[in-house]
Structure 1
């Protein structure tokens, strides 16, 4: 099909098909990700009908990866990264080694060369950034210890793949015809490591000052468009510069760009403003993966596909589980990380493509990698659902509470009563919390961001880490003797569930919540809130009060000059 406007056609076709099939998947009670992947298969060159531009789709998907990793960096401090280095570094390296050896074993069985087996095994060893982060976000695990270990593990895998992409030509020469020397390999390795270290040092030392300053100047203009543009320019510009100048990945560059902005008070606004774009381009990532998939390989090579999928879903997961348990973490943490890593994604496609270019991999091998990627991404939501069902059925309530305490931190119940229980400490919550402190009202904050909880505790404010929908978290915050429950989280429907749960325990507590839309107001009110504040309505009322309408109406009307 000819494309007069290939970019527009690819974006429109991909998003429309993703919306239709994602909605259908949601109706069938399966993950929308499956719908997005199937949309890519329909838009790809291997199925009849509409065919999107296969050269543009991966680049659009890369923008999604950049924005997603930038958003993760906004919620992930350097201290969080260093806190998990002892498990993330050795764990990721060992897991890559295990998966690579398993892939090489399968390739030997299929009669491939050692070099082809090495590339094939490396393709199966690293998880997809987008899939892992989506899974953690859906389960509100980004700020948990499990989430931080998984993200740290992912960062180490990204660094390992950056080194692999640089060293692969030299390794191929040594293992193939011997034209490359070990000394050349060591020089390449040293140069690459030096560039990575230089980039990270530049971002931590210089980026911490420059990036927040640029955003602060953009915000001071009062233009929402300029601020959003500044956020996108920094995220995309730094990611591109990381690749062009230092040779690291787009994802790694964007992650550190977000991380240096983490300490700025504008980080929450930056995350909020880029959320719609992140979601849209993340969908295009899944569509682009689906476009690469040739469904006929399932008929031509069923056993090879099953074996490849087994290495990705079972081999990697078992290796990760054993490694996490060896480091003394709980079974729940080990299983969560195992499920997070039971798929492959963007680096697998890049490595496979480079392997073909260098003559180190066949089209047959790339087709198996693509089949393994798309099937493992489709199965990943199911893996998480089975994991959650298993944990619910196999653990007693006491064991679950102990697991949560072990993997998060030991949280002691707040020794306070007649206090205001504030859920959420974002822009609205922080303003309200400051006012309550000023008038001397005792305050307990519930937050699912570890960074914010630690900052609150440093200020002497009682804070509980976790989700307010969790009964144990509410017990730690002493809902049983609180005077007010104040919900400032932006999701009205989530607030409604928290209100219903709290009202069931405390019929006498006064509950005030925040909402954005009329339907959210009704939803929260029906579940037991005493009052629901809608920002737009309150602004209108305040402006009307400032007009002193009653006094104006009592005055005699002024004559209009002719």
Structure 2
């Protein structure tokens, strides 16, 4: 077969086989990505038959990572990142340290030297952002506060791995690898230069990019060409990611993420997300296929106990460490379980780190096979852990009093202070969610001097609201205790302004039980969901697209009849 068509061969074989095996996996009630991974194993060099071009597959997967991270940036603003910094930054750093110690101890037990153990532990410590995004999107949690914590946590992990990848070559000689000629002064110089590069890139994107790229998108939109608009979006994602890696030493994934963040400032960000969605999905499939291609199934037979130990570190060790950290920050049990499930896998940065360690002579040959085995198994089983969150939470509540106290424990933000003015506690509005929509509703309520209580999952936001004199209670409004603390029994209206409508029915039932006369106002993005909720006479549902169309129609009629 001519080499000139290897790209076509790889895409055709990868997507075609992924479709067949993904379909079979779904019919067997398994996640589709299990089929994608198996497609990669079949197309890889370690199984008989057709072998796809691994180098091209890896590059296609890299494009997929760029587009996926760009999509995350389009939904994840700087405000979102700053809102979760108090848990994401220390949580990610401590979890990396714990996982590195666990993986390193395992490697030392196998007789590896300290440098190999350190690199191996780091490779097991960082989760795949791509896998997390797919899981959160499928569960409808990407725009939720829990989703923002998980994504922010992984962004901090990615930033930490950027520093590790830059520092590893000059440290190789000290760690037992091939000496790259680095001394202490060179190491500090490299660290300082790396921090300057990453800092410079972030400042450039947030200061200059937030003004330039939305303006460019607006100019392209004015042409009226859909093709140019789509090209502008894809070119921005790929070219900014490439430039960030070439000029600032930042990873492709991180560069694409910040490109999406600055593009979000444009009023066309939602359209940009929709236009890039088909490409993101197609290349995401190729990412999972490329992971499967790297896997040698023989390692499962030759080193079964070592593979099992690696999988336990990734799925159990990391998850417990992350869960304990989230609980230590006084977040609910469900949040801890969700973050734990999010981190119970490894991915793209692990592959890059282990490959660099091999090239520097720091790791034995079996290290790559073990990491790939751990990645494949943890990625394939990750949807299972997400599906077990609710059953595990219910089981813990039934069996252990301690689990129940985690939800009901005393917390100054989980209940309204005694000093809250009486006007807030009678015929007030209970506003669930203080995001972009919630803030606008609150401003209108203030303007009309209507008392309200905010129920919000973001602890830092509740602190700021209380400091500003606004009555606010922290927690998930799906839990009856939160609505009780917001005095739903005395409220006149319940407003659910969160984009995540997963537990809306539960909130309505709790409110109705405590206050049968209460009126409920809800936002929704799903027409079928809106229709079902609107069947209740006491519930008013606002569908985003419908309200926009009606507002535009009123304006058109006004101008046409003037």
**What TM-score, normalized to structure 2?**
0.76
Task: Write the deviation string for residues 72-101 of structure 1: whole angstroms up to 9, x where unpaired.
Answer: 111212122122222222221222122222
Task: Write the deviation string for residues 300-330 of structure 1: whole angstroms up to 9, x where unpaired.
Answer: 1101111111111112112212222222222
How far apart, CA to CA, are the structure 1 residues paired with 2:129 and 2:142? 13
* Residue in structure 1 matched with residue 470 of structure 2 by the alignment: none
2:346 is the counterpart of 1:347: no
Q: Tell me, what secondary structure is at the counterpart of 2:52?
A: coil
- How far apart are 1:34 and its partner, in Å? 1.1
Would the alpha carbon gap of residues 110 and 501 (structure 1) be closer, same or farther in structure 2, given more than 3 Å must change? same
How far apart, CA to CA, are the structure 2 residues paired with 1:217 and 1:183? 48
How far apart, CA to CA, are the structure 1 residues paired with 2:220 and 2:414? 37
Task: Write the deviation string for residues 103-129 of structure 1: whole angstroms up to 9, x where unpaired.
Answer: 222222222222222221111110001
How far apart, CA to CA, are the structure 2 residues paired with 1:150 and 1:501? 29
From 360, 365, 381, give the equivalent of 2:383. Answer: 381
* Residue in structure 2 matched with residue 334 of structure 1 by the alignment: 336
* Residue in structure 2 matched with residue 43 of structure 1 by the alignment: 43
From 185, 189, 192, give the equivalent of 2:191. Answer: 189
2:24 is the counterpart of 1:62: no
Q: How many residues align?
A: 540
How far apart, CA to CA, are the structure 1 residues paired with 2:13 and 2:413? 43
Would the alpha carbon gap of residues 402 and 239 (structure 1) be closer, same or farther in structure 2, given more than 3 Å must change? farther
- How far apart are 1:221 and its partner, in Å? 1.4
Residue correspondence of structure 1 range 82-161 to structure 2 within 5 A: 82-161=82-161
Task: Write the deviation string for residues 162-191 of structure 1: whole angstroms up to 9, x where unpaired.
Answer: 111111111112245764211111100000
2:369 is the counterpart of 1:367: yes
How far apart, CA to CA, are the structure 1 residues paired with 2:9 and 2:425? 60
Task: Write the deviation string for residues 41-63 of structure 1: whole angstroms up to 9, x where unpaired.
Answer: 11111122232211111111111
Would the alpha carbon gap of residues 467 and 4 (structure 1) be closer, same or farther in structure 2, given more than 3 Å must change? farther
8 Å Cα contact 2:145-2:457 kept in structure 1: no
Residue correspondence of structure 1 range 11-410 to structure 2 within 5 A: 11-174=11-174, 175-176=176-177, 179-395=181-397
Q: Tell me, what secondary structure is at the counterpart of 2:378?
A: helix
- How far apart are 1:5 and its partner, in Å? 1.3
How far apart, CA to CA, are the structure 2 residues paired with 1:328 and 1:35? 38
- How far apart are 1:137 and its partner, in Å? 1.8
8 Å Cα contact 1:45-1:291 kept in structure 2: yes
Q: Tell me, what secondary structure is at the counterpart of 1:56?
A: helix
Mark the runs of 5 or more structure 1 residues left unpaired by the alignment.
458-463, 547-562
- How far apart are 1:147 and its partner, in Å? 1.8
Would the alpha carbon gap of residues 473 and 226 (structure 1) be closer, same or farther in structure 2, given more than 3 Å must change? farther
Which stretch has the larger CA shift, 265-274 or 101-110?
101-110
How far apart, CA to CA, are the structure 2 residues paired with 1:235 and 1:409? 44
* Residue in structure 2 matched with residue 555 of structure 1 by the alignment: none
Q: Tell me, what secondary structure is at the counterpart of 1:195?
A: helix
How far apart, CA to CA, are the structure 1 residues paired with 2:415 and 2:31? 31
* Residue in structure 1 matched with residue 8 of structure 2 by the alignment: 8
8 Å Cα contact 1:239-1:253 kept in structure 2: yes
Q: Tell me, what secondary structure is at the counterpart of 2:55?
A: coil
Q: Tell me, what secondary structure is at the counterpart of 2:321?
A: helix
Task: Write the deviation string for residues 143-172 of structure 1: whole angstroms up to 9, x where unpaired.
Answer: 333222221211111111111111111111
- How far apart are 1:255 and its partner, in Å? 1.1
Would the alpha carbon gap of residues 532 and 323 (structure 1) be closer, same or farther in structure 2, given more than 3 Å must change? closer
How far apart, CA to CA, are the structure 1 residues paired with 2:369 and 2:396? 39
- How far apart are 1:4 and its partner, in Å? 5.0
- How far apart are 1:372 and its partner, in Å? 0.7
Q: Tell me, what secondary structure is at the counterpart of 2:45?
A: coil
8 Å Cα contact 2:64-2:284 kept in structure 1: yes
8 Å Cα contact 2:333-2:393 kept in structure 1: no
Which stretch has the larger CA shift, 80-89 or 30-39?
80-89
8 Å Cα contact 2:178-2:361 kept in structure 1: no
Would the alpha carbon gap of residues 280 and 523 (structure 1) be closer, same or farther in structure 2, given more than 3 Å must change? farther
How far apart, CA to CA, are the structure 2 residues paired with 1:416 and 1:32? 50
How far apart, CA to CA, are the structure 1 residues paired with 2:118 and 2:323? 23
Would the alpha carbon gap of residues 330 and 467 (structure 1) be closer, same or farther in structure 2, given more than 3 Å must change? closer
* Residue in structure 2 matched with residue 560 of structure 1 by the alignment: none
**What TM-score, normalized to structure 1?**
0.76
Would the alpha carbon gap of residues 511 and 248 (structure 1) be closer, same or farther in structure 2, given more than 3 Å must change? closer
Mark the runs of 5 or more structure 2 residues left unpaired by the alignment.
466-472, 557-562
Measured on the aligned residues, the alpha-carbon RMSD in Å equals 5.1
How far apart, CA to CA, are the structure 2 residues paired with 1:332 and 1:513? 23
Task: Write the deviation string for residues 411-439 of structure 1: whole angstroms up to 9, x where unpaired.
Answer: x9x9999x9x9x9x99xx99xx9xxx9xx
Would the alpha carbon gap of residues 301 and 388 (structure 1) be closer, same or farther in structure 2, given more than 3 Å must change? same
How far apart, CA to CA, are the structure 2 residues paired with 1:40 and 1:291? 4
Which stretch has the larger CA shift, 216-225 or 255-264?
255-264
